[in-house]
């Protein structure tokens, strides 16, 4: 339809007519008495008119008239960044408050992802258990268990042969070490 008009003055007149209809639609969409369906329909109509206005501006440029697109102000926020939704489908007035639309217009919160360095930078030797020797309660417990083992015949071995001989002799292990049986068996037995 717009490409059929060959006079620049006619294109200008039609463009102004479309702008007037857009202005009326934007004023009407502010009405709090409209229900959500009416607001959606009116917003759709305004977007159709915006597309028609762009087609008239393209035809005006094609016929050698002024470029209104270049002179049109961009929609910017406080930081000077272009507002999301300013190209393509736009939401006007109360349409911005419709269910589901607000989530589309609000920028997503940046996801907090940490790289491997950031994950490990606060881990110290306590995490890996390197300073367990400094824990007096753990040292006392280990000393108690060691004394019990020595009293029952479990001692410190000097070499591998002593360990092998010790394993071959069945011994009774102290209570408190579940699932371990002394002897030549390499399997772990548990009480099921």
How far is Cα 41 from Cα 53, in angstroms, rounded to an integer? Answer: 18
Model pTM? 0.50
H or E element in which residue 11 lies: helix 8-29
Ranges 37-41, 95-99, 186-190, most confident? 37-41
CA-closest candidate to residue 30, choices 90, 89, 91: 91
3-state DSSP assignment of residue 130 = coil
Superfamily, domain 2-105:
Helix hairpin bin (1.10.287.660)
The residues facing 76 across adjacent strands are 82
Name, in order, each residue with C-beta under 8 angstroms of 45's C-beta and a sequence gap of 6 or more.
Answer: 25
Token pair of 14 as six digits: 């039609």
Q: What is the pLDDT of residues 37-69, one digit of tens each?
A: 899 999 999 999 989 999 999 999 999 988 888
How far is Cα 5 from Cα 65, in angstroms, rounded to an integer? Answer: 13
Q: What is the pLDDT of residues 135-176, one digit of tens each?
A: 777 778 777 877 777 777 666 666 667 666 666 665 555 555
The CATH 1.10.287.660 domain(s) of the chain lie at: 2-105
pLDDT reading at 127 higher than 80: no
């Amino acid at each position: 339809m717009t490409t059929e008009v060959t006079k620049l003055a006619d294109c200008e007149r039609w463009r102004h007519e479309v702008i007037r209809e857009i202005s009326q639609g934007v004023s009407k969409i502010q009405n709090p008495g409209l229900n959500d369906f009416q607001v959606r329909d009116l917003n759709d109509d305004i977007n159709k008119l915006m597309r028609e206005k762009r087609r008239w501006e393209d035809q005006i440029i094609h016929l050698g008239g002024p470029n209104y697109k270049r002179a049109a102000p961009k929609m910017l926020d406080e930081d000077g960044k272009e507002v999301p939704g300013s190209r393509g489908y736009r939401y006007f007035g109360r349409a911005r408050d419709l269910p589901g639309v607000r989530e589309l217009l609000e920028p997503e919160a940046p996801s907090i992802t940490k790289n491997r360095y950031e994950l490990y930078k606060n881990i110290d030797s306590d995490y890996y258990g390197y300073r367990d020797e400094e824990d007096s309660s753990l040292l006392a417990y280990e000393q108690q268990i060691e004394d019990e083992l020595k009293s029952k015949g479990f001692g410190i071995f000097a070499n591998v042969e002593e360990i092998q001989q010790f394993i071959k002799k069945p011994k009774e292990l102290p209570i408190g070490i579940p699932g371990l049986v002394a002897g030549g068996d390499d399997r772990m037995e548990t009480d099921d």
